[in-house]
Copies of this chain bind each other. A is one copy, B any other.
Amino acid sequence: MRFVLVHGACHDGSHFEVTAASLRAKGHEVHCPTIQGNREGDDRRTTRLEDAIASLVAYFDEHAIEDAVLVGHSWGGMVISGAFDRLGAARIRRLVYYGAFVPIDGESLLDLCPPHYRDLFRQLAEPANEIVFPFPIFREAFINDGSLEQAEALHASLNPQPFLTMADPIRLSRDPAAFDCGKSYLHCTEETGLPQSYPFHPRLSERLGLFRLVSMPGSHSTFHTAPELLAQKLVEAGRD
């Protein structure tokens, strides 16, 4: 398979490298692009969601990628949804939402969060119009399955997320349920990046219409705490 792995907010392509190595060892081709707004030197104050999506579309064009399994993690669900809407099923044969947001036209990532998260994100974005999660929240809510050392190392590697990429509504020509490609949702069972009473799955996953559910143990950060198992589950999510 040809995988394109799209990272979440505050992350970059390097965060998928252990998972990618495991997939390559199984014989797959893997791309780990870093999305516009998370690259060194990017202007965090002004990068918009549309810029992020356009950068993934450009990556597909530059590398002439076709027949891809396009995976989006967390915020990356916004990006892969927008990219599929522009690139179509000839370029992307299956979308895999991995603990990811599934938007419909006109929604932002913030719209898909519980109200107290929206308030928190707006506060965190002051004054630089960018977000980094404070360590105590990150450690408990995003990497609850990891050791303190794993949590500290991952947190230290994060980069600030342009707030507009979380606050901008997405523009989509159709609902994700109408995307004419395969669709999978990879759910980690100790996921608490969103509260389990206001969850990613099944609240957002079922917007995909007919989709393949794959699950695995772990938190929002299994690319860091369980990268080999993640690779195996991405194969299960992406095959045929």
Binding site for B on A (CB under 8 A): 136-137, 139-141, 144-145, 147-148, 151, 182, 189-190, 192, 195-197, 201-203, 205-206, 210-215, 217, 236, 239-240
Contacts and interface: CB of A to CB of B under 8 A. Distances in A.
A148 B240 CA distance: 6
Given A145-B236, A239-B147, A203 B210 contact: no
A139 B139 CA distance: 37
Number of copies: 3
A42 B157 CA distance: 56
A60 B137 CA distance: 29
A214 B190 contact: yes
Contacts of A212: 139-140, 144
Contacts of A202: 195-197
Contact of A196 (B144, B195, B201, B214): B201
A145 B195 CA distance: 26
Contacts of A190: 213-215
Given A197-B202, A202-B197, A213 B239 contact: no
Contact of A215 (B141, B189, B205, B214): B189
Given A195-B202, A197-B203, A203-B197, A210 B136 contact: yes
B201 A213 contact: no
A140 B205 CA distance: 13
Contacts of A192: 213
B196 A206 contact: yes
A142 to B, nearest CB: 11
Contacts of A236: 145
